[in-house]
């Protein structure tokens, strides 16, 4: 699964996040997803690419985070 930088993702528990970037762990060189909460105080989080794209099959959602297709009013 490819992750879209600046894409809006829904966590299987219901909250929304924007992916800010993909980074590398300085020790292991593991790919990490940097993402920001779109609620509350907009905390910045990171999670391994593997965990971000993990299959969970919970709450009618296949993956832990799923890309949302948000349309603009001008697209209607």
- What is the per-residue pLDDT for 40? 97
- What is the per-residue pLDDT for 12? 96
CATH number for the region 8-68 comes to 2.30.30.320
pLDDT band at 70 (very low <50, low <70, confident <90, very high): confident
- The full DSSP string for 13-47 is TS-EEEEEEEEE-TTT--EEEEEEESSTT--EEEE
pLDDT in tens, 23-68: 999 999 999 999 999 999 999 999 999 999 999 999 999 999 999 9
């Amino acid at each position: 699964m490819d992750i879209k930088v600046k894409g809006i993702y829904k966590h299987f528990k219901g909250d929304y996040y924007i992916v800010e970037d993909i980074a590398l762990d300085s020790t292991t060189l593991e790919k990490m997803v940097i993402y920001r909460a779109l609620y509350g105080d907009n905390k910045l989080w990171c999670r391994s690419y593997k965990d971000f794209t993990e299959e969970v099959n919970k709450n009618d959602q296949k993956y832990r985070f799923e890309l949302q297709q948000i349309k603009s009013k001008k697209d209607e």
